[in-house]
Amino acid sequence: MDDDDYFSDDFDSLPPGTLFELEQNAYQATQAPATQHHGQADEDAKLHAEATAAVRQPATLKQPPRLHSGLTNDYHTLEVGELEAEVHDDFEGHSVLQQGHEGQQDHHGLVAQTSWPGPGNGGADDAMEVDDYGQANTNQMNARLQQLEQEREQMRRELAEAQALAETKAGEIAIIRSKQTSMTRDYDRQLAALRKAMADEIAKHKVEVEAAMSEGRKLAAENTFLQHDLAEEAHQLRNFKVRQQRIEDKAAPVTPRKSRVLPFRDGFDDDEIAVVSPTKSAARSKRATPTHPAKRKRQASEDSPAPLELSPAVEAMIVEAPSDIPGADAENARKSPGRNARDEKYMKRLLNHRLFSSEETDMEALAKYYFPAEPNGPISRILLDKLATLDTGSFVVDYIHAIGPIWQRAMKEKFYDPVPRFMAIARYVLSLDGVRLQDLIPPLVNVLQYAVEVNAAKRFEFSPARALRQSPQTPQSDLQPLVDSTECLRLLYQLACELMHVKSAMEVFWGHIRHDFILVMLHGSQPLKDISLTMHLLSTSIRPNSFGPIMPSEEEQAAVQKYIVDRLTHMLHESAQPDEGLEPYTVYDICAMRLEVLLCLEALAFNPAAPSRDHGSAILSVHQNALARLFRSMHDELDALYSSPPETELRSALVNGLMRLIFGVMRRHGPSINMQDKLACVAGSKQKHLVVLTRLAFCDGVILEAGIEDETVDMAHELLEEWTNPQEAESLAEAFPSSRRE
């Protein structure tokens, strides 16, 4: 083939419609499947839809409105190259196939209405293939379009619902915000009214509280003086009774013996006559007619009057002669009528004693009790047998000495039925007058301690500090209700108060008190009444150079005193736990108990009987944790005041008392105290120590701090100045310009 054949004009003879169909088939064969396969893109889908719609369009192909030059007069045909370019451009730009809205018409009308001529049958076959392919694409595209339309409608409905819901929520939020604003305004208004009412009420009661506190202090002072006067009167009365008893115990006066020589018989004493007549000697007086044993008695005549009765002076003198025997005076004093009468009276009372709710006497009730180990002998028989072996000179003392061992044996054998009877007898004996209580110390003190420990030991075992248990409360099943520990402690305290003015008796009393008994009772697991009675009892043990139970050696005595101080300072922040089944203690009860602890510490540190002695304060100063615990407790009590609790008075009293105690110890032993080391032993004490001193030193005296005394503020300020440098003191003064001290 030459070059001329390559550029043959065979395509010039093809009609324009055939060339378009070829282009269309080529386009669909290459582009249309790719468009269906990647139908996810929006532009490809649009182009494919336009191409498919052009195939489905039943309109006829029209001649382009404007053709380029290239027409020949010989063949009346168009040039192929120019027509191809013109038709393609018009298809891309102006959509030669016009689309109609009658998409459901038969596709074969396209071939019938087409004016494109074609040689032979080639054009018809190609058109049919195009129709079949277009029909399949049309069905797929229709289904896809319907699906997209449905999805769009669904999205429109969801959008409308979301908008409606958003509008509803916005309305609800607006309503809630308006209500919240209204409630906030009402709350602020009510709060302001309540604050104003509270301030008025506090100001109203402040005067009443101050008046009541002043009256209370006045009554307390009067009560102290009255108690002192009563104690003095009781002491004088007891001394008077002892003196009276000594006078009564002496031998009763007897009629003086008359002289055997009675010379005058004139009714006057011989001494008086001798004084009146000194010249007349008694030796010269006329003697009586001597009697002779052989002389016959004169016979009385029948006419004589009745014989005179002789004086019984000689017989009386003979009866009283044994009183001159040595030792007879002591025997007579022991069996004097006055003492026997008193012992007989007490014996009758004790043997006739009975409980308030019972008609049986003690002996009748004890006759029904038998020890488990001795079922054949009643307790009354054991008591009478014991009484028969005792002879101390007092039936009351003998009776208590006989009951004490029986009482202790009953508790050791866990036979508690007669214990209330024994306690009632001890209570009655302590109320009697004229009884030597010193003789009752050995039998009573030991057995009362043992009785208290029956329940106290169980409570101590169930305390959280001893062991981890399911419940820190003591079960009622482990307690003995017949043994009242509170009543036993009250009897011990009563006996100690009766003996306070007798130094030797108090030493004997505290010699019988065991130190472990005191330490067990100073614990939060015990009832609050028992703790208070124990601290009252401990206050009676204060001596010039020691306190607490008396120990054999000084080392043991110092160790016991250290343990007591440790327990007391620990109880200032220790929680108290009641027995199982009882109501929990209120905050008021806890504060009252801590105030009792503080008063006991003040009495130990500053001996009221010997104020110049500093034995107790020295123990507090050398104790490792005592001062740190006092600062921590003072901080906690002051911090609790700012919540305006009902027990404000008690907490204020605690703060004032703790500051007095700390200040007094620091003034007495300040140079020897290393406060930083002591504060480091208790967690958080360093910070609380500075915080509480700063609060108290710059106290403004507002409502919540009204109970803080001015002396407390001055003490805190003085201590704070000692423990801060001048720069820190100035910064604190600038931070609190409106303090009460200023």
Q: DSSP labels for 109-147?
A: HHHHH-----STTHHHHHHHHHHHHHHHHHHHHHHHHHH
Residue 35 placed within a domain: yes
Q: Which two tokens stand for residue 75?
A: 């063949």
Which residue in 133, 50, 127 sits closest to 95, CA to CA? Answer: 50
Residue 289 placed within a domain: no
Distances from the Cα of 108 to the Cα of 104, 456, 551, 692, angstroms: 12, 116, 132, 106
Q: Could you say which DSSP state residue 371 is in?
A: E
Can you point out the beta strands (E) in 422-489?
none
- Beta-bridge partners for 546: 543
Give the span between the Cα atoms of 400 and 432, in whole angstroms.
Answer: 13
Instruction: For residue 528, give the H/E element and its range.
Output: helix 528-539
Give the span between the Cα atoms of 669 and 623, in whole angstroms.
Answer: 12
Contact 698, 726 (CB under 8 A): no
The total domain count for the chain is 1
Q: Which two tokens stand for residue 480?
A: 């003995």
Contact 489, 533 (CB under 8 A): yes
Q: Could you say which DSSP state residue 280 is in?
A: S
- Beta-bridge partners for 371: 374
pLDDT tens-place string over residues 382-394: 999 898 898 888 8
pLDDT tens-place string over residues 148-198: 999 999 999 999 999 999 999 999 999 999 999 999 999 999 999 999 998
Q: How confident is the model at residue 482 (pLDDT cuts 50, 70, 90)?
A: very high
pLDDT attached to residue 16: 62
Helices 503-512, 441-461: crossing angle, 10 deg rounding = 40
Number of H helices, E strands in the chain: 29, 2
pLDDT tens-place string over residues 213-230: 877 777 877 777 787 778
Residue 93 placed within a domain: yes
Find the distance separating the first CA and the last CA of the chain, reported in whole Å. 127
What range defines the domain where residue 77 resides?
10-136
Residue 305 placed within a domain: no
User: How many CB atoms are closer than 10 A to CB 596?
Assistant: 19
Residue 171 placed within a domain: no
pLDDT tens-place string over residues 623-645: 998 999 999 999 999 988 888 88
pLDDT attached to residue 120: 44
Residue 740 placed within a domain: no
Give the span between the Cα atoms of 449 and 130, in whole angstroms.
Answer: 122
Give the span between the Cα atoms of 708 and 437, in whole angstroms.
Answer: 45
pLDDT tens-place string over residues 494-512: 999 999 888 999 999 999 9
Distances from the Cα of 510 to the Cα of 441, 495, 603, angstroms: 10, 11, 17
Give the span between the Cα atoms of 432 and 346, in whole angstroms.
Answer: 9
pLDDT attached to residue 173: 93
Per-residue pLDDT, averaged over 528-552, amounts to 93
Q: Which residues lie closer than 8 Å to 294 by C-beta, 6 or more apart? A: none
Give the span between the Cα atoms of 239 and 246, in whole angstroms.
Answer: 10
pLDDT attached to residue 477: 85
pLDDT tens-place string over residues 696-741: 888 776 666 778 888 998 898 888 888 777 776 667 666 665 455 4
pLDDT attached to residue 515: 93
